[in-house]
Amino acid sequence: MRKTLLVISITLTAPAVALNPGIVETETGTRLAERVTDGVLETASWSAATPYYAPSGPGYPDPYNQGEVLWSVEEWHGSYGAICEDVDISEDGNYVFCSWNLNYEKWELYESYGAGTPVWTYDLLDGGSLYVHAVGIVSGDISADGTVIAGCVSGWTTWPATYYKGTLFKFSSASSTPDWSYDFPYMDPDMNLSSRPVDVRVTPDGSTIVCLVRNIQDDPTKPHQLYVFDSDSDVPTLVIDLPNTDESPYGLDITDDASLLAYSTYQHVYVYDSDGTQLNAFSIDHGWQLKPAISADGEWLVYGNYHGQLRLNEWNGSEFEQAWQYTVPPEYYYPSICGVDVVGDTIMMGSYQPNATSNRGFVYAFDTSSSTPLWISDDFGDYVEGVSLNADDATVGIAASWGPVTGSGWRSALFMTDSPTPYFYMDESYPGSHFACEISGDGALAATGGKRVHARVMGSGGWLYCIESSTGDTDVELLYFAAAGGKSVIRLEWGVAGTDDITGFNLYRSAKLSNETVRTSAPEVRLNGEPITGEGHYVYVDNEVAVGKTYTYRLEAVLNTKNETLGTCEGTSGAGKYAFALAQNYPNPIKDKTSFAFSLPEAGRAVVKIYDITGRLVAEVGGSEYEAGTHDVTFDAGDLANGVYSYELEADAGRLVRKMVVNR
């Protein structure tokens, strides 16, 4: 995670002049944000990523929302639309895979950093496969790199008809044409009724696909089944007949190597190994209709029930045994355990906890060492149906909720797993209810979706969202990002640390509208063609701006495997003057020579003075007459000892001070 220690320094200056928001000029002085990294003090004009938008309202402080919705898809055709029933994101964060159901059944693959336009669509109607119509199921999963995609579906071949079938498809990210498909056999040939697939999982490496199949009539004489496939073949390598066939199976989870397979029925959770041997059969008191969660390494198994009981089971070498149980205290009604996930030693759980007057839902976090919650979130306003933890280290999680029917409340929210306060949320301004969500391996990207109207309101249609989190794990650290308004131009400067994976940068600009909210700003425009390259200190001058207008700029790093938003800042173009500003010297720390960049609002004399830590003047550079505009001067620090120094720009417009480090 990006972690920055900020120290605020106040330096007396001349009367206020218009500067960029990274250097905040006040009557008492200029605030400079400084950070300490590995014992080295650095000064930054904009030290960390700021919220791309920060909605406000009752109960929602502005400091939330360290992230942004990259794009959204509304599935609506004027009078009908499909619901986002299942959503998956590849662990590398590059792809989002959505299963749309009800009225317009299809699978769609999206690029996370695309514009919300599908890479491909597989239409389950026009494709000639099935007419799912509300009685069927559409589900899917995707490998860690997005190259192997599986989808299972069941429904009628026409409507109405007695020809009911279930099919498993295997796709790649390159094409909507299936690599192969498998039609599950008919359990009752006389009635043309086949088995009904209900859930599917793909191992992260894409080598194995596992599908949970329900017999069509829930007939005790016809077994439910687990099918296991090598992803490159439509011939199952293993078919497991499952017990207690009078109980319908609902959800499936597997370990990363598919050595353990866990599925739930209304009254049991069963565990099998990769040879088809049953290892566990846990009874579920009071029923459950959601999938269990098994950790990637098979150490932990988590499930719940409709009386608010969460159960953790630990692997003992040959089977699972219960470690502990947590019971949500009942109020007017019994609470329900909804979505669950476990990664490493961290558990995330969603709940439904109605009281006598309202629907309520909460997110819980646990450590596997204790049944006492680490924290409990504020109320979401209804079911918290989906939760997901990032696979790399479980430091970030997302929760999807129905949200309240009316009034303020969250639909989806991102949490650091050490805090009950979401650092990003989607509130009532995002309509409908969210049913499904998933987060990338590093926690930097997430996808969520659901129904276009509230789950408790009659209607159809759906929404799908891709979210970028500013707190996902990254090796790139933004040191500063600032915009200085000049004469019909805006000068952008930034610096980063951890640049091994960076191949360049992209800059995006949007103009703020009259209501001054970034969320409703005009569409973004990418300023650069090819990625901006260089090293250390970067400068970009935007000369296509209107005089006196405020713009929001977004800085994006182009990495080897993905693009990542580093931060945003704002700048206002001046009517006739350049800003009075002093940039961070480059390079910093200094080995021999460094450069000081500054801008002057009017022509005049300017000098840069260097002081040691005791305040003694040790050098000067510049001292000439300069035109209004931006300038650079070079300084040879060969005579300076290692240490921290300050440098001061002295000009007719005032004085500005920053710090630098000499370290050979």
Q: Is 49 helix (H, G, I), strand (E, B) or coil?
A: coil
Maximal C-alpha separation, the chain: 97
The correct CATH number of 6-51+474-662 out of 3.40.50.300, 2.60.40.3500, 2.70.98.50, 2.60.40.10 is 2.60.40.10
Burial of 305 (0-12, 13-18, 19+ CB in 10 A): buried
Answer yes or no: is pLDDT of 473 > 80: no
Spatial separation of the C-alpha atoms in residues 661 and 647, rounded to whole Å = 10
| Spatial contact of 494 and 47, defined as CB atoms under 8 Å apart | no
Q: What are 603-612's pLDDT values in tens digits? A: 899 999 999 8
Mean pLDDT for the stretch of residues 262-271: 94
Answer yes or no: is pLDDT of 537 > 80: no
- Beta bridge partner(s), residue 532: 505
| Spatial contact of 197 and 153, defined as CB atoms under 8 Å apart | yes
Mean pLDDT for the stretch of residues 258-273: 95
Lowest-confidence pick of 105-109, 511-515, 525-529: 511-515
Answer yes or no: is pLDDT of 315 > 70: yes
Spatial separation of the C-alpha atoms in residues 551 and 521, rounded to whole Å = 9
DSSP 158-197: SSS-S-EEEEEEEEETTEEEEEEEEEPPEEEGGGTEE-EE
* Confidence category of residue 342, pLDDT binned at 50, 70, 90: very high
**In this predicted model, which residue has the larger pLDDT, 22 or 250?**
250
* Confidence category of residue 154, pLDDT binned at 50, 70, 90: confident
**In this predicted model, which residue has the larger pLDDT, 514 or 426?**
426
Q: What are 580-592's pLDDT values in tens digits? A: 778 778 787 888 8
| Spatial contact of 664 and 643, defined as CB atoms under 8 Å apart | no
Q: How far is CA 654 from the centre of its chain?
A: 44
Q: What is the pLDDT of residue 26?
A: 24
Spatial separation of the C-alpha atoms in residues 524 and 511, rounded to whole Å = 8
- Beta bridge partner(s), residue 52: none
Answer yes or no: is pLDDT of 449 > 80: yes
- Beta bridge partner(s), residue 3: none
Spatial separation of the C-alpha atoms in residues 434 and 530, rounded to whole Å = 37
Q: What are 404-434's pLDDT values in tens digits? A: 998 888 999 999 898 888 888 898 889 899 9
* Confidence category of residue 128, pLDDT binned at 50, 70, 90: very low
Q: What is the pLDDT of residue 295?
A: 97
| Spatial contact of 309 and 325, defined as CB atoms under 8 Å apart | yes
Task: Report the percentage of the chain scoring pLDDT > 90.
Answer: 45
Q: What is the pLDDT of residue 109?
A: 97
- Please report the sign of the dihedral spanned by the C-alpha atoms of residue 325, residue 330, residue 335, residue 339: negative
Answer yes or no: is pLDDT of 601 > 90: no
Q: Torsion-angle region of residue 421: left (phi > 0), alpha (psi -120 to 50) or beta?
A: beta
Mean pLDDT for the stretch of residues 491-514: 74
Q: Is 38 helix (H, G, I), strand (E, B) or coil?
A: coil
Q: What is the pLDDT of residue 352?
A: 96
* Confidence category of residue 382, pLDDT binned at 50, 70, 90: very high
Answer yes or no: is pLDDT of 17 > 50: no
Q: What is the pLDDT of residue 413?
A: 94
Q: What is the pLDDT of residue 587?
A: 81
- Please report the sign of the dihedral spanned by the C-alpha atoms of residue 58, residue 59, residue 65, residue 69: negative
Spatial separation of the C-alpha atoms in residues 630 and 20, rounded to whole Å = 14
Q: What are 33-63's pLDDT values in tens digits? A: 222 233 332 332 222 222 222 223 333 333 3
* Confidence category of residue 172, pLDDT binned at 50, 70, 90: very high
Mean pLDDT for the stretch of residues 277-298: 94
Spatial separation of the C-alpha atoms in residues 204 and 256, rounded to whole Å = 6
Q: What is the pLDDT of residue 609?
A: 94
Q: Is 351 helix (H, G, I), strand (E, B) or coil?
A: strand
**In this predicted model, which residue has the larger pLDDT, 442 or 294?**
294
Q: Where in the chain is the domain with CATH 2.60.40.10?
A: 6-51+474-662
Spatial separation of the C-alpha atoms in residues 113 and 71, rounded to whole Å = 9
Mean pLDDT for the stretch of residues 539-564: 80
**Average pLDDT of the chain, as a whole number:** 80
Task: Report the percentage of the chain scoring pLDDT > 70.
Answer: 78
Q: What is the pLDDT of residue 470?
A: 63
Spatial separation of the C-alpha atoms in residues 111 and 76, rounded to whole Å = 21
Mean pLDDT for the stretch of residues 136-155: 90
| Spatial contact of 268 and 288, defined as CB atoms under 8 Å apart | no
Mean pLDDT for the stretch of residues 128-135: 47
Q: What is the pLDDT of residue 578?
A: 65
Spatial separation of the C-alpha atoms in residues 299 and 101, rounded to whole Å = 34
Answer yes or no: is pLDDT of 327 > 60: yes
The tokens of 653 are what?
Answer: 């417009």
List all residues 6 or more positions away from 37 whose beta carbon is below 8 Å from its beta carbon: 497
* Confidence category of residue 524, pLDDT binned at 50, 70, 90: low
| Spatial contact of 523 and 482, defined as CB atoms under 8 Å apart | no
DSSP classification of residue 132: -
DSSP 239-305: EEE-S-TTS-EEEEEE-TTSSEEEEEESSEEEEEETTS-EEEEEE-TT---S--EE-TTSSEEEE--
DSSP classification of residue 584: P
Q: What are 57-100's pLDDT values in tens digits? A: 333 333 345 678 999 999 998 888 899 999 999 999 999 999 99
Backbone angles phi, psi at 189, to 5 degrees: -60, -30
- Beta bridge partner(s), residue 182: 168
List all residues 6 or more positions away from 243 whose beta carbon is below 8 Å from its beta carbon: 223, 270, 278, 281
Q: What is the pLDDT of residue 59?
A: 32
List all residues 6 or more positions away from 614 whose beta carbon is below 8 Å from its beta carbon: none
- Please report the sign of the dihedral spanned by the C-alpha atoms of residue 470, residue 471, residue 473, residue 476: positive
Answer yes or no: is pLDDT of 184 > 50: yes
Q: What is the pLDDT of residue 517?
A: 32
* Confidence category of residue 220, pLDDT binned at 50, 70, 90: low
- Global confidence as pTM: 0.65
